[in-house]
Structure 1
Amino acid sequence: MRFLFIVQGEGRGHLTQALSLADMLRRHGHEVVEVLVGKSHGREVPPFFRTKIKAPVRAYEAPSLIYKKDRKRLDKLRTAFYNGNPRKLRQYGQSIEMIHRRIKKQQPDVVVNFYEMLPALAQLRFRTDIPFVNIAHQYLLRHPDYRHGTGDAQSLLILRLHTLLTGIGATKLLALSFYPMKSCARERIVVVPPLLRREVLDLQPIEGDYILGYMLNQGFENEVRRWHDAHPDVRLHFFWDKRDAPTELRVDDTLTLHRIDDEQFLHYMAGCRGYITTAGFESVCEALYLNKPVMLIPAHLEQEINAADASSIPGAATTGDSFDLSRLLDFMQTPRTFDHDTFRRWLLSAEETFVRELTSVVDRE
Structure 2
Amino acid sequence: MKILYGICGEGRGHASRSRILIHYLRQHGHEVRIIAGGKAYTILSKDFDSVLQIESPKVFYKGNQVRIIFTLLHTLFQTISRTPVSFLKIRHLLKKLQPDLLITDAEPIGYFAARLSKIKRISIDNPSALLYRRCPKKIRDYPAWLFLFFALKLSLFGADKHIIYDFFDEQINDPRVLFIKPLIQFGIRRQQSTSGKHIFVYQTSPSFTVLFNSLRRFNETFIIYGFNKERTDGNLIYKRFNEDEFYHDISAAKAVIVNGGFTVISEALYLKKPIFSVPIRHQFEQLFNAQCIERMGVGISQRTFSEEDLGDFLSRLDIFSENLQKYDAGDQDNILARIEQEIQIVLNEKK
The answer as to whether partners of 1:297 and 1:323 remain within 8 angstroms in 2 is no
User: What is the CA-CA distance between 1:290 and the residue it aligns to?
Assistant: 0.9
Counterpart of 1:30 in structure 2 is 30
Distance (Å, rounded) in 2 between the aligned partners of 1:351 and 1:50: 22
The 1-side partners of 2:241 and 2:97 are apart by 31
Q: Which residue of 1 aligns with 2:166?
A: 177
Deviation at 1:114, TM superposition (A): 0.5
The offset of 1:14, in angstroms, is 0.6
Q: Does 1:355 align with 2:340?
A: yes
Is the 1:193–1:349 contact (alpha carbons within 8 Å) kept by the matching residues of 2? Answer: no
Measured at CA, do residues 31 and 184 of structure 1 come closer, stay the same or move farther in structure 2, by a change above 3 Å? Answer: farther
Cα distance in 1 for partners of 2:234, 2:167 equals: 36
C-alpha displacement of 1:301 = 1.5
The partner residue of 1:168 within 147, 154, 157 is: 157
In the alignment, what sits opposite 1:332?
317
Tell me the distance in 2 between the aligned counterparts of 1:262 and 1:50.
16
| Deviation (angstroms), 1:9 | 1.3
Query: What per-residue deviation string (whole Å, max 9, x for no partner) do you get for residues 279-325 of structure 1?
Result: 11111111111111111110022200111123211x22211222744
Say whether residues 1:148 and 2:135 are aligned partners.
yes
Quote the sequence identity (%).
22
Distance 1:335 1:309 in 2: 13
Alignment partner of 1:275 is 2:275: no
Cα distance between partner residues in 2 of 1:180 and 1:292: 20
Query: Shift in Å at residue 131 of structure 1?
Result: 1.5
TM-aligned CA distance change 1:215 to 1:281, over 3 Å? same
CA distance in 2, matches of 1:343, 1:296: 20
Name 1:14's counterpart in structure 2: 14
Matches within 5 A, 1:251-330: 251-299=232-280, 300-313=283-296, 315-320=297-302, 321-322=304-305, 324=307, 325-330=310-315
> Could you tell me which residue of structure 2 aligns to residue 138 of structure 1?
127
**What is the root-mean-square deviation of aligned Cα atoms in Å?**
2.5
Aligned residue in 1 for 2:46 = 51
| Residue-by-residue CA offset, 1:90-138 (whole Å, 9 max, x unaligned) | 21122222222223222232221001222233245xx223221111212
Shift of 1:189: 1.6
CA pair 7-149 structure 1, distance change in 2 beyond 3 A: farther
Give yes or no for contact 1:120–1:169 (8 Å, CA) kept in 2.
no
Is residue 214 of structure 2 the alignment partner of residue 227 of structure 1? yes
**Aligned match of 1:120:** 111
Cα deviation, 1:243-279, whole Å, max 9, x if unaligned, reads xx44xx1133532222223222112111111111111
Cα offset for 1:202?
Answer: 2.4
* Residues 178 and 193 in structure 1, CA contact (< 8 A), matched pair in contact too: yes
How many Å separate the matches in 1 of 2:137 and 2:193?
Answer: 34
2:338 aligned counterpart, secondary structure: helix
Indicate conservation of the 8 Å contact 1:134/1:174, yes or no.
Answer: yes
Q: Is the CA contact (8 Å cut-off) linking 1:289 and 1:340 kept in structure 2? A: no
Equivalent AA in structure 2 for residue 121 of structure 1: F
2:187 and 2:232 map into 1 onto residues whose CA distance is 29
Alpha-carbon offset, residue 13 of structure 1: 1.0
Q: Unpaired runs of 5+ in structure 1?
A: none
User: 1:274–1:328: 8 Å Cα contact kept in structure 2?
Assistant: no
Aligned twin of 1:60: 54
Structure 2 unmatched runs, 5+: none
Cα deviations by residue, 1:189-233 (Å, 9 ceiling, x for unpaired): 21122111333222211111111111111122331x2023323x4
Secondary structure at the counterpart of residue 312 of structure 1: helix
1:51 match: secondary structure: coil
1:318 and 1:331 in contact (8 A); partners too: no
Question: SS of the counterpart of 1:334?
Answer: helix
CA distance in 1: counterparts of 2:89 and 2:42, whole angstroms: 22
Alignment-derived partner of residue 68 in structure 2: 76
Q: In terms of mean alpha carbon deviation, does 323-332 or 94-103 score higher?
A: 323-332
In 1, Cα distance between the equivalents of 2:177 and 2:314?
38
- Where 1:344 maps in the other structure, the secondary structure is coil
Q: Contact 2:276–2:301 (CA<8 Å) still a contact in 1?
A: yes
